[in-house]
Each structure stands twice: as structure tokens, then as C-alpha cells.
């Protein structure tokens, strides 16, 4: 990384005292940030720290509430809706923004198609697409349809698109979250090639080792505040982690209540096969919190959905309190006392256009019937109870839940799940995208449920969360269980070894431990 560290190089894109609020909720407080040509500047912070908002402001998708953005030394107002691309600022979203039915060449030239005599010059576009892919050393056919590509290849197409647009600033939101180790290395080589050509790269990642390898400077955000911007060589993974969290982790998680090793197994899964998972076996005991760790796409959600009947099982058996069960619809699992709380609260969990009450009782409407008709006062009482128990804060009960903060939405969804009074609760990413205070509340609720004798499965991509909560941890990798950890084995390093495939438990001998 040549001269990037020298302050003599003027920043190409910078933010000065940028703040942002959504409605009344402030998410960024007076952030200063800049990136220089040829530099990789990483942004790191916990979920909800404001990373995504910052890069949205840097790419013009969101406008800052106050503060200014300068590009090439000039104060500018970046045009919204990705039009900043024309200026050379390209954002690559985490959930890649490609039209699935177009070809690779179509995608690369989308919105600025090459034309000859007013008609599309498909030959030339294909030729240039191939040339761009060659400079990236990627072998993707320009005529292939996007929906036939792997995630890593799609990402390469996005990068090719950015290069063909002469991107001067490339902003990437967790590009490695869905990549394997070797795919990540390919991506890093591309990024290094780009910075060698003077492109400035802004890069969000949760993975400290990646940041140490790739970035020149690191900016740490916490709860919307700028904590520090420092050169990577001055850092160790430990010091970054400390800056990210900024508090004693032990306070965040409730004390672990030791589960009774003789407690009965309430849920037993044996050799379960479903669409993307194979040979899944595990036990869940009464009063236990069982963590499910693994990379995104490792099949944790698929296991949960197959167990509760949201997805089809192709083989294997599930026993509940010793009785074999085969749920084919959610209603059956709910009746049997097994509830699944989705990670996708906006897409699958809550009706965003409706108020709190219909959302809370949707799963359990039949508990609120009187002579066949809905008893809204009974629903109101349920809402009152849930508001008190889960500390849900809303202006009033009729406000559309889409306008609640993520934390309140999550607590409402938790309330909805708990309305069915389950004995076994499967929570998928229970704290995704919510603030630290709410996280802590949810952790305490989870611990209290287990102490009460409920059995809880927590699926989470945040290692700290899995470690802080779980009595045992199942680590999944590419649709299979890679290992089951307990006690002192539950460490970040150990989980990552299994999740990344460096280590693999030989057999299932420890599963029912």
C-alpha cells in the first residue's frame, strides 16, 4: 500500500461532522470520516453502531441531517438513489443489487447501455464485459444469467460493474460475510489491484483478521459515535475489539445459570435431512440454552424451519418429550409448544402496516375468541401484558409497527412468539440490528426463560452473543453440524475453527452430551 498513509495525499471523499436521525431517533452523531485514493479504509462496529447509515450517506442514498460531504475537495450534495455512481462513488450492497434475469454483460452495462444507431450494441458490450472480467482474472461468461452464478461470482460482477464505471471510491458493505475463505482471498486480491490503481475503498467487516490484513486505516463506531480512526499497524485485534465494545462484556450477558445435566431431553433431532441441510442430530434439554453458530448460509435457519414444519423434511426424526412428531405446518408445532421466531422480522415476522395489537395476537388469535368472534378487549389485555413484560415502547398501540425502532419491533415479535406459551423457543438472530441496551434486555429475557424451565435455541451470527448466552453450542458448516462445544470449549476461536472447516468433530459422539 504505497503512499496511502501519507497525509499529504488529499482525501477523495470525506464527511465532516455528519449526523443523521431517523424521525426522532438519532443514529449518527457528528462523524468525521475520509478516504484517500489508493487506500482501504475499514469501518468496524457492532450491529446498530451506524456503519450502514454512514456508508449510505457516503454514497448519497441517505442525506445527512447535518454536516457536509466533500468529494475531491469540493463540498457536494450527493444525488440520492445511487446516482452518485456517475461521479465515481459506487456502493456494493451486502445483498447484491443485481437483476437476477439479466446476463452478466447486461448487468455490467445496466443504465448506460452501449448503443449503435440507437440500438443496443450487444456485441461490443459483451466484448467489453469479457475484457473487464479478464482484468479481474475471473472466468465468468458474459452471457451467463445472474441467477445461475454463485454469490462470489455475483460479487465479482458487481466489482466489474464498478470498474467499468471508472469507480474512484468503492464502498463495500460486509462483502465477505457470504464468502468462503478462498473466495475471500480472491476478493482481497481484486481489492489490492484496485487500490494499486488509485481507487479508494471503504469496507465494512466484522472480521478483525480481515481488517488487519487488508485495511490501511480503521474507523471504529459505537452507538452512532466516532470512537477512533487509526492506522492499522498501530492496532491489535484486541484493541479494536475493546474500542468496538467499550465496556465490560460481562455486564452485557446475564450470569449463566447452570443447567441441570439430568434435566429431561425435550427435543431430540436425529439424522434430519432437508433441502439444504444433511444429517442433523442434536438434543435440547429442559432449561437449556443451546446456541447455533456458523457462517451465514451454513443452514442454521433451515434446520429450525424443518423442525417446526415451515420447510419440508426429507428424512430423519424429531421427538418431542419422547414422542415422535412430524410437523408439516407451523400451527402444529405451535400447538405442541414449539415456537420459532424468525430472523427476518420485517419480511416474515411482523405486519409492518398494522398496529401492535393485531401483530401480537396473529399467531394465537384463537385464544382471543368469544363465541367465535374476536374479543378485542382480551387482545388489548394481552398487549398490555406484553408491553409490560417486554418493555415495548411505542407512541400508542395503533402506530404501524413499521415505524417502531428495530429494538421495539424485535421485542414485539418476541412478545408475539411468547403469546403461544411455548416450552421450546427457537430464536433466530434475536438481536439483529438493534441497539445495545435492547440487546441486553433480550439477553436477560432469554436467560430468564431458560431459568423458568423453558428450552431455548439461539441461532446467532454474533459469536459473542452465542458465547455469552449458551450452555452448549452447535456449530454448523455447509449444511452439516461441524461440532458441538460445551463449557470451557466455547470460545470464539474454537467456534470459528469449526465454522470455517479447520476442525471437524469426527463423529456425533458428543451430541447428546
Partner 1 sequence: MSVSAPDIAAKPARGFRPDLKTIGPLVALALLILLGITLNENFLSYNNITNVLARSSFIGIIAIGATFVITSGGLDLSVGSMAAVIAGVMIMVMNWLIPSFGIGWSVILAGMAAGILIGGAAGIGNGLMITRGRIEAFIVTLGTMGIFRSLVTFLADGGTLSLNFQVADVYRPVYYDGLLGIPYPILVFALVAIGGEIVMRRTSFGRHCAAIGSNEQVARYSSINVDNVRLITYILQGILVGVAVLLYVPRLGSASSTTGVLWELEAIAAVIIGGTTLKGGYGRVWGTVVGVVILGLIGNILNLQSFISPYLNGAFQGVIIILAVLLQRGGRRD
Residues that bind partner 1 (CB under 8 A): 310, 329-331, 334, 340, 342, 344, 347-354, 358, 362-363, 365-366, 369, 372-374, 376, 387-388, 391-397, 402-403, 416, 437, 440-441
Nearer of residues 119 and 373 to partner 1, judged by Cβ: 373
Q: Which three cell numbers stand for residue 448?
A: 430468564
CA distance 195 to 168: 10
Of 16, 37, 184, 161, nearest in space to 93 by CA = 161
Give the shortest CB-122-to-partner 1 separation in angstroms: 31
Instruction: Tell the smallest beta-carbon distance from residue 342 to partner 1 (Å).
Output: 6
Closest contact distance (angstroms) between CB of 470 and partner 1 is 23
- The phi and psi torsions of 376 (rounded to 5 degrees) equal -65, -25
The Cα 370–Cα 290 span in angstroms is 38
User: What's the gap between Cα 338 and its chain centre?
Assistant: 25
DSSP letter for 146, please.
G
How near is the Cβ of 350 to partner 1 at its closest, in Å?
A: 6
Q: How far apart are CA 265 and CA 304, in angstroms?
A: 17
Residue 343: CB minimum distance to partner 1, A? 11
The smaller minimum CB distance to partner 1, of residues 118 and 347, is found at 347
Please give the Cα distance from 343 to 430 (Å, whole number): 7
Q: How far is the CB of 23 from partner 1 (least distance, A)?
A: 10
Kindly tell me which of 160 and 414 has the beta carbon lying closer to partner 1.
414
- Dist. CA 233–CA 433, nearest whole Å: 30
**With respect to partner 1, which residue has the nearer C-beta, 39 or 379?**
379
CB of 427 to partner 1, least distance (A): 13
Task: Answer for the pair 298, 477: CB distance below 8 angstroms, yes or no.
Answer: yes
The residue count of the chain comes to: 513
Q: What span, in angstroms and rounded, lies between the C-alpha atoms of 265 and 314?
A: 23
Exposed (0-12), middle (13-18) or buried (19+): which is 191, by Cβ within 10 Å?
A: buried
H-run or E-run covering 245: helix 237-245
Shortest distance, position 347 Cβ to partner 1, whole Å: 6
Q: Compare residues 18 and 446 and give the one whose CB is closer to partner 1.
A: 446
**CB distance 180 to 150 below 8 Å:** no
Nearer to partner 1, 70 or 354 (CB): 354
Q: How far is the CB of 139 from partner 1 (least distance, A)?
A: 36
Is the Cβ of residue 167 or residue 469 nearer to partner 1 in the bound state? 469
* Shortest distance (Å) from residue 315 CB to partner 1: 23
- DSSP for 66-134 reads EEEEEETTEEE---TTTGGGGGTEEEE-SS----TTSBHHHHHTTTS--EETTEE-HHHHHHHHHHHHH
Helices 181-196, 151-164: crossing angle, 10 deg rounding: 10
Closer of 203 and 390 to partner 1 (Cβ): 390
* CB 324, min distance to partner 1, A: 21
Alpha-carbon distance of 328 to 97, in angstroms, equals 34
Q: Which is nearer to partner 1, 203 or 340 (CB)?
A: 340
Residue placing its CB nearer to partner 1 in the complex, 367 or 504 = 367
The distance of Cα 462 from the centroid of its chain, to the nearest Å, equals: 9
> Is 195 in contact with 201 (CB distance < 8 Å)?
yes
Side-chain half-sphere exposure of 150, counting CA atoms within 13 A = 10
Nearer to partner 1, 360 or 474 (CB): 360
Amino acid at each position: 500500500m504505497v503512499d496511502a498513509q501519507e497525509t499529504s495525499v488529499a482525501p477523495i471523499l470525506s464527511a465532516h461532522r455528519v449526523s443523521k436521525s431517523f424521525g426522532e431517533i438519532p443514529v449518527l452523531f457528528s462523524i468525521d470520516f475520509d478516504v484517500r485514493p489508493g487506500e482501504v479504509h475499514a469501518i468496524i462496529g457492532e450491529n446498530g453502531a451506524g456503519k450502514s447509515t454512514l456508508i449510505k450517506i457516503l454514497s448519497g442514498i441517505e442525506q445527512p441531517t447535518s454536516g457536509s460531504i466533500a468529494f475531491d475537495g469540493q463540498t457536494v450534495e450527493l444525488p440520492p438513489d445511487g446516482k452518485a455512481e456517475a461521479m465515481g462513488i459506487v456502493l456494493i450492497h451486502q445483498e447484491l443489487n443485481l437483476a437476477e434475469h439479466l446476463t452478466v454483460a447486461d448487468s455490467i452495462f445496466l443504465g448506460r447501455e452501449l448503443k449503435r444507431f440507437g440500438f443496443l450494441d450487444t456485441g461490443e458490450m459483451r466484448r467489453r464485459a469479457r475484457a473487464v472480467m479478464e482484468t479481474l482474472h475471473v472466468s465468468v461468461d458474459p452471457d451467463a444469467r445472474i441467477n445461475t452464478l454463485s454469490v462470489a461470482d455475483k460479487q465479482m460482477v458487481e466489482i466489474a460493474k464498478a470498474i467499468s464505471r471508472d469507480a474512484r471510491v468503492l464502498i463495500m458493505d460486509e462483502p465477505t460475510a457470504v464468502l468462503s475463505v478462498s473466495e475471500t482471498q480472491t476478493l482481497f486480491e481484486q481489492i489490492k489491484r484496485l487500490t494499486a490503481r488509485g481507487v479508494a475503498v471503504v469496507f465494512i467487516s466484522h472480521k478483525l483478521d480481515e481488517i488487519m490484513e487488508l485495511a490501511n486505516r480503521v474507523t471504529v463506531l459505537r452507538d452512532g459515535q466516532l470512537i477512533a480512526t487509526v492506522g492499522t499497524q498501530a492496532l491489535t485485534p484486541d484493541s479494536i475489539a475493546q474500542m468496538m465494545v467499550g465496556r465490560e462484556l460481562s455486564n452485557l450477558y446475564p450470569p449463566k445459570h447452570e443447567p441441570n445435566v439430568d434435566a429431561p431431553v425435550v427435543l431430540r433431532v436425529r439424522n434430519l435431512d432437508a433441502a439444504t441441510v444433511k444429517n442433523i442430530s442434536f438434543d435440547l434439554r429442559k432449561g437449556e440454552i443451546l446456541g447455533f453458530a456458523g457462517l451465514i448460509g451454513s443452514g442454521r435457519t433451515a434446520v429450525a424451519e424443518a423442525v417446526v414444519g415451515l420447510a419440508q423434511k426429507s428424512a430423519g426424526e424429531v421427538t418431542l418429550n419422547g414422542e415422535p412428531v412430524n410437523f408439516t405446518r407451523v400451527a402444529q408445532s405451535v400447538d405442541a409448544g414449539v415456537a420459532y421466531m424468525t430472523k427476518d422480522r420485517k419480511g416474515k415476522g411482523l405486519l409492518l402496516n398494522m398496529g401492535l395489537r393485531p401483530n401480537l395476537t396473529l399467531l394465537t388469535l384463537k385464544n382471543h375468541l368469544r363465541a367465535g368472534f374476536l374479543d378485542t378487549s382480551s387482545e388489548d389485555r394481552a398487549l398490555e401484558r406484553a408491553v409490560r413484560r417486554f418493555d415495548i415502547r411505542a407512541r400508542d398501540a395503533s402506530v404501524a409497527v413499521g415505524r417502531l425502532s428495530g429494538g421495539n419491533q424485535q421485542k414485539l415479535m418476541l412478545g408475539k412468539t411468547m403469546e403461544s406459551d411455548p416450552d421450546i423457543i427457537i430464536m433466530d438472530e434475536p438481536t439483529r440490528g438493534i441497539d445495545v441496551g435492547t440487546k441486553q434486555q433480550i439477553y436477560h429475557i432469554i436467560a430468564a426463560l431458560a431459568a423458568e424451565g423453558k428450552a431455548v435455541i439461539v441461532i446467532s451470527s454474533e459469536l459473542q452473543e452465542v458465547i455469552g448466552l449458551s450452555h452448549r453450542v452447535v456449530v454448523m458448516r455447509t449444511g452439516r453440524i461441524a461440532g458441538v462445544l460445551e463449557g470451557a470449549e466455547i470460545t470464539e476461536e474454537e467456534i470459528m475453527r469449526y465454522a470455517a472447516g479447520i476442525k471437524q468433530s469426527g463423529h456425533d459422539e458428543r451430541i447428546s452430551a
